[in-house]
Amino acid sequence: MRVILTSVVAATLVLPVLASEPAPTGFFESSIAAQLAAERVMLDTPTPQKTRRWLAHLTEEAHVAGTPQEKVVAEYVRDRLVEFGLETEIVRYDVFLNHPKEVSLKLIAPVEEELSLMEDVLDVDKDSAAHGVFPAFHGYGASGDASGQVVYVNYGTPADFKKLEELDISVEGRIALVRYGSVFRGVKVREAENAGAVVEIIYSDPEDDGYMQGDVYPDGPMRHPSAIQRGSVQFLSVQPGDPSTPGYPSRDGATRLSRSQMKTVPQIPSLPISYREAEKILRELGGERVPDEWQGGLPFSYHVGPGGAAVEMSVSMDEGLKPIFNVFGYVRGSSEPERTVILGNHRDAWTHGAVDPNSGTAAWLETARAVAAAVESGWRPARTIVFASWDAEEYGLVGSVEWGEDRAADLSANALAYLNLDSAVTGPRFGVGGTPSLRDVIRESIARVPEPQEGGTVGEHWEKRQRGEWAESTQVVLDQPDAEFELHLGQLGSGSDYTVFLDHLGIPSMNFGFGGKYGVYHSIYDNFRWMEKFGDPGFIYHVAAARFYGTLAMRLAAADIAPLRYESYGPALREELDVLRRDVVRKRRSAEEIDQDSVLNSDFAAVLGALDTLANAGERFDQAVDAALERGDTAAASAINTAVLPIERALLTTDGLPARPWFRNVIYAPGLTTGYAPWPFPELRQAVEDDDAALFARGSERVTAALLEMARRLDTASAAAGSGN
Helix H or strand E segment including 325 = strand 310-331
The 3-state DSSP class for residue 690 equals: helix
Helix H or strand E segment including 387 = strand 383-390
Q: How many CB atoms lie within 10 A of CB 544?
A: 28
Distance between the two ends of the chain, CA-based, in angstroms? 62
Maximum Cα–Cα distance across the chain? 81
Return d(Cα 581, Cα 696) in angstroms, integer: 12
R_g of the chain, CA atoms, integer Å: 26
Q: Side chain identity at 475, as an amino acid letter?
A: Q
DSSP character at residue 259: G
* Residues comprising the chain, all counted: 725
Q: Side chain identity at 559, as an amino acid letter?
A: A
**Is 472 designated active site?**
no
Say which residues have a Cβ less than 8 Å from residue 391's Cβ, sequence separation at least 6: 65, 70, 74, 324, 325, 326, 346, 347, 348, 398, 399
Query: Where do the DSSP E strands lie in 403-508?
Result: 415-425, 429-434
Q: How far is CA 596 from CA 159, 305, 587, 600, 616, in A?
A: 20, 33, 11, 11, 40
Out of 319, 393, 405, 444, which one is annotated catalytic?
Answer: 393
Q: How many CB atoms lie within 10 A of CB 293?
A: 9
Q: Are strands 113-114 and 509-515 parallel, antiparallel or unpaired?
A: unpaired
If 0-12 CB within 10 Å is exposed, 13-18 middle and 19+ buried, where does residue 463 land? middle
DSSP string spanning 576-607? Answer: HHHHHHHHHHHHHHHHHHTT---STT---HHH
Cis ω for the linkage preceding 225 (within 30 of 0): no
DSSP string spanning 87-119? Answer: EEEEEEEEEEEEEEEEEEEEEEESS-EEPP-SP
Angle at 77 between CA 71 and CA 78, to 5 degrees: 90
If 0-12 CB within 10 Å is exposed, 13-18 middle and 19+ buried, where does residue 18 land? exposed
DSSP string spanning 180-198? Answer: SBSB-HHHHHHHHHHTT-S
Return d(Cα 201, Cα 218) in angstroms, integer: 26
Helix H or strand E segment including 152 = strand 144-152
Asked if 127 contacts 529 with a C-beta cutoff of 8 angstroms, the reply is: yes
**C-alpha count within 13 angstroms, C-beta hemisphere, residue 567:** 12
Q: Side chain identity at 397, as an amino acid letter?
A: L
Return d(Cα 249, Cα 244) in angstroms, integer: 10
Return d(Cα 38, Cα 16) in angstroms, integer: 15
Q: Are strands 310-331 and 383-390 parallel, antiparallel or unpaired?
A: antiparallel
Say which residues have a Cβ less than 8 Å from residue 614's Cβ, sequence separation at least 6: 566, 569, 570, 573, 707, 708, 710, 711, 714
Angle at 676 between CA 665 and CA 128, to 5 degrees: 145
Catalytic residues: 393
